[in-house]
A and B are shown apart, each in its own frame.
Chain A
Amino acid sequence: MGSRSSHAAKIPDVDSIRRETGFSQASLLRLYHRFRALDRTGKGYLSRLDLQQIEALAVNPLGDRIIDSFFPDGSLRLDFPGFVRVLAHFRPVDEEEDGNRDPKEPEPLNSRMNKLRFAFQLYDLDRDGKISRHEMLQVLRLMVGVQVTEEQLESIADRTVQEADEDGDGAVSFLEFTKSLEKMNIEQKMSIRILK
């Protein structure tokens, strides 16, 4: 580990990344190694292809959507800051950090709101800020086994939207989404331990 600290210099813009994401130096280094390892052909950025090579993602029902969330705005290249930025959402929430935070600064990427926003965008593909019934149905389809009939899925989707929808527009906005999950421990659910 000691010999690797020299590698920190190799990471471009390491300080701004640190500030933005809140990762420790060690974690950033590890992520950098991971980034380089994923980038097999040594391009310096990641493409969708590289992420699709991760076999475990192939059997993840949401695999494609997860990959897409790494490529915001339809871009085709993922550079290291972008990579880290997405992963920063999954950093465990540190209680102290929260208290010391300067309220004027933007919310850290791993705040509850930002985590929820990240999850929200997995549903909301057309980025209109709302999860329509159709989008909900799509996600349901992805996540449920083949033995459930289409009608059942539709009624479940209906019900899901109905439960969360408060203003009756037939879609779930972000605020409604957060409200429906207020009892859930998002900080723990969407945190990956190793990303301290």
Chain B
Amino acid sequence: MRVQALVPFGPWSWCLFLATLHCCGASSKLNRSTDSSAQRELNVRFAAASSQPAETISVFTLDYDYVQIPYEVTLWILLASLAKIGFHLHRRLPGLMPESCLLILVGALVGAVIFGTDHKSPPVMDSSIYFLYLLPPIVLESGYFMPTRPFFENLGSILWWAGLGALLNAFGIGLSLYLICQVPAFGLGDINLLQNLLFGSLISAVDPVAVLAVFEEARVNEQLYMMIFGEALLNDGISVVLYNILIAFTKMHKFEDIEPVDILAGCARFIIVGCGGVFFGVIFGFISAFITRFTQNISAIEPLIVFMFSYLSYLVAETLYLSGILAITACAVTMKKYVEENVSQTSYTTIKYFMKMLSSVSETLIFIFMGVSTIGKNHEWNWAFICFTLVFCQIWRAISVFALFYVSNRFRTFPFSIKDQCVIFYSGVRGAGSFSLAFLLPLSLFPRKKLFVTATLVVIYFTVFIQGITVGPLVRYLDVRKTNKKESINEELHTRLMDHLKAGVEDVCGQWSHYQVRDKFKKFDHKYLRKILIRKNLPKSSLVSLYKKLEMKQAIEMVESGVLSSTAFSIPYQAQRTQETRRLSPEDVESMRDILTRNMYQVRQRTLSYNKYNLQPQTSEKQAKEILIRRRNTFRESVRKGHSLPWGKPAGTKNIRYLSFPYSNPLPAGRDVKMAEFTDHDGSDSELPPITFNTHSPAESIQERRWTAEAIPMKSLHRAGTPPRFGYQRSASREERLGRGRRAILRPKPLFHAVDEEFESEEEAPAFGSLLSSELRPGGDCNLSHSPLLQRK
């Protein structure tokens, strides 16, 4: 479906839009004309023995009021979803502007419709609904999907930046605006300091995650990513806390009554609210993790437990006037690790998707409401206030970024460059949070609420559209990439090789920082927490059979996709082709280059990939699968020969397959040829070079020791050069079919190390590691994962 550049709506959404219009029109007509009979019609539905019998039974009635609110809400959400579909269908749009742009546009459209038809929009948003229902899912989602390792590695910087940044921004903007308000010419004299401060606190709530998708392509480094993410995470919480404190201050009678004691109390309250919230969140996280330990027989309620406990943590914190947002965030972070291991595969997927769905819905509603508010009569425009707000927002963000990072760079191992700081500064895009807080200002305390709302809206529109759209090019520009399009094929190939090489060596180096603290935590985690919180004794057989099924599925897919065409092998390796220097036409070269560019494997994204509106794409998973399958298919020969890359293999060598059974006796020679079909997969429970069992040291089972013990003789057997050889008649052709004769590479057969990956190497490959293992979930105290990928937590 070709979609025009800036019209992200599909045809269906137009239909829907028209339908909405029609309904609104109909309903408004209905409202106006049938006021009197409306009541009667309504009651007809419910009153069986009602007072007023209807004259006739009407065959067809339209009762819009009954369903109005849910109906319209559903329509809104549906409209936004259709718009998103259209948005993503267009290839280049998602990279150009953040998705929040789209949502705002949809909201504006709906607002225009509602305004145009003079329809009274349903009261979706008021204070309690927002804080109780709309906000928690959004925060839960960002807490749940937060990558924990980089977060905790950078925790100091993140807290410093997010916390102090928010405070600095809030007070800075508030104070500057107050000074502006003092200027009589602008007519803003009635806005006192507290109101300005409050406005400052709500306008400083940024939502930078929305722009992450835009410059994901540019591969910003992990720390930068984490800064932005961490800021988004903590920012909401801090803003709301500040907001509440300042509202409490405002409720006190007069500005002059506030004494230093009150201010100190405010600060203390700030800290208590923050830390208390986190504390409660952690407690609830542990409780829910503990409970999921026992849900194996009723796995359908696992998502329920997760959601209810998170929500409960939010509510409990709110009851005690602590920060619910921070509570739910802490709960999600704590819970995630253990819950993921305990719950069943389907529950896990359900939880992920449901979380995304809920947060999507919430955000959509907020944005639509924002659109509705935009197009209406509730505005008060004051040039000075609004312009200065915009200006001060930018200035103070710049000040806070550069000042705070200047300080924190002293203490960081890897300081942020100026370019990084520019990116952080520029990604200060406001979002739904600010609008909600502005909208929910109590009118009694803020007589000029409309002005605030207008100013907030302007800032949001400005940052989302202008900054959101230009941040991509800016980041790419700062990256100083040589956009040398006309690279020769050589350069292209070698560049990619070097990228892969660099990624590989980076993986070898691993991550390092705060070793000791993290080690200590991990030790503690293993000794106590995991024992209590994680389910034991998951039946191993189910995992192994799942793995086998997975293998088979992959092989079938590969066969079906025509990969394994036998033509590939007709050309023997060592055929001495005459070195003809054919003159290739430029088009040929171009097409070659094209093929190369399009089909080379992407370098593994070392940086994280978080998308606020979607779960990770599947392409990297496919690629990883392909690579793994290929590599595994060739892991035979060299083991016998004792070296890894048997270069110079003579043509026509049959790569004889044999099965290695590290934990049982080797199969007798002369297996049935019929089984050859499923060699790879049948024997996969043994042919588990990729499988690594990740167990706790205390739970190191005897089985494992046996495996290791048996595996080693296997290996030495191979080394000795007399492996159990199983000649299959079809093996040669099969080999040809299955791998284009990949080099056999040494794979460690005895991979059943009772080692805890978590203890040492810090690789967390959330982007694809969890993807690959998402199909094969870890369970219990054995983390079985596809290929050497261990399920990383």
Contact = CB atoms under 8 A, between A and B. Distances in A.
Interface of A: 3-4, 30-31, 33-34, 37-38, 40, 48-49, 51-68, 70, 74, 86-87, 90, 119, 122-123, 125-126, 133-135, 138-141, 143-150, 152, 154-156, 158-160, 162-164, 168, 170, 180-181, 183-186, 189-195
B11 interface: no
Interface in B722-764: 740, 742-743, 745-748, 751, 753, 755, 757, 759-761, 763
B647 A150 contact: no
A192 B760 contact: no
B595 A152 contact: yes
Given A119-B497, A125-B645, A181-B494, 13 more contacts: A58-B628, A58-B690, A61-B627, A64-B746, A68-B645, A74-B643, A90-B505, A125-B647, A144-B599, A148-B599, A181-B490, A190-B501, A194-B509
* Best-surrounded residue of B482, B493, B563 (most CB of chain A within 10 A): B493
* Best-surrounded residue of B503, B571, B628, B753 (most CB of chain A within 10 A): B503
B221 interface: yes
The 5 closest A-B pairs by CB, nearest first: A37-B760, A56-B507, A66-B504, A170-B579, A55-B789
Given A64-B644, A184-B494, A194-B414, A150 B567 contact: yes
Interface string B757-793: 1011101010011001000000000000101111010
B498 interface: yes
A126 B631 contact: no
B666 to A, nearest CB: 20
B376 interface: no
Given A143-B500, A180-B488, A159 B509 contact: no
* Best-surrounded residue of A133, A183, A191 (most CB of chain B within 10 A): A183
B584 interface: yes
B527 interface: no
B759 to A, nearest CB: 8
Interface string B484-526: 1000111101111111111111111110100110000000000
B592 interface: yes
A184 B498 CA distance: 11
7 contacts: A53-B751, A58-B788, A65-B645, A122-B501, A126-B647, A160-B493, A186-B498
A189 B499 contact: yes
B645 A52 contact: no
B627 to A, nearest CB: 5
B581 interface: yes
A78 to B, nearest CB: 11
B498 A119 contact: yes
A57 to B, nearest CB: 6
A66 B508 contact: yes
A126 B760 CA distance: 34
Given A66-B501, A119-B501, A141-B740, A37 B490 contact: no
Contacts of B323: none
Contacts of B467: none
Contacts of A64: 631, 644-645, 743, 745-746
A54 B761 contact: yes
Contact of A63 (B495, B504, B558): B504
A52 B500 contact: no
B567 A163 contact: no
A52 B745 CA distance: 11
A76 B499 CA distance: 26
A149 B500 contact: no
A59 B787 CA distance: 9
Contact of A59 (B499, B624, B644, B647): B624
Contacts of A159: 489, 584, 589, 592
A4 B514 CA distance: 11
Contacts of A56: 503-504, 507, 604, 763, 765, 769
A59 B510 contact: no
Nearest to B511: A194
* Best-surrounded residue of B484, B495, B502, B561 (most CB of chain A within 10 A): B502
A149 B569 CA distance: 11
A48 B505 contact: no
A143 B414 contact: no
Contact of A87 (B490, B509, B581, B747): B509
B520 to A, nearest CB: 13
B307 interface: no
A154 to B, nearest CB: 8
A59 B768 contact: yes
B660 to A, nearest CB: 15
Interface in B562-582: 563, 567-568, 571, 573-574, 577, 579, 581-582
A40 B753 contact: yes
A183 B630 CA distance: 33
Contact of B573 (A60, A123, A134, A140): A134
A122 B491 contact: no
B418 interface: no
B497 A62 contact: yes
Contact of B502 (A51, A70, A185, A189): A189
A193 B563 contact: no
B595 A156 contact: yes
A61 B601 contact: yes
A162 B644 CA distance: 29
A90 B502 contact: yes
Given A60-B604, A64-B631, A143-B500, A55 B748 contact: no
A66 B573 CA distance: 23
- Tell me if A's interface is mostly helix, strand, loop or mixed: helix
Contacts of B690: 58
A140 B592 CA distance: 13
Contacts of A123: 497
Nearest to B584: A159
A178 to B, nearest CB: 11
B490 A160 contact: yes
B498 A190 contact: yes
Nearest to A196: B414
A133 to B, nearest CB: 7
* Best-surrounded residue of A48, A64, A186 (most CB of chain B within 10 A): A64
Interface in B457-504: 482, 484, 488-491, 493-504
A144 B482 CA distance: 23
Contacts of A194: 414, 506, 509, 512
Contacts of B184: none
Given A156-B489, A194-B414, A62 B510 contact: no
B668 interface: no
A119 B498 CA distance: 7
Contact of A150 (B500, B504, B740, B765): B740
A135 B414 CA distance: 39
Contact of A193 (B221, B510, B577): B221
B615 interface: no
Given A65-B645, A68-B644, A122-B497, A51 B508 contact: yes
B600 A143 contact: yes
Nearest to B773: A55
Contacts of B595: 148, 152, 156
Interface in B535-592: 558, 561, 563, 567-568, 571, 573-574, 577, 579, 581-582, 584, 589, 592
A192 B489 contact: no
B221 A66 contact: no
A164 B748 contact: no
B501 A192 contact: no
Given A58-B628, A59-B627, A152-B595, A52 B747 contact: yes
Contacts of A87: 505, 508-509
Nearest to B578: A170
A145 B748 CA distance: 25
Given A126-B648, A145-B600, A184-B495, A55 B788 contact: yes
A119 B740 contact: no
A184 B491 contact: yes
A27 B653 CA distance: 46
A137 to B, nearest CB: 9
Contacts of A49: 748, 751
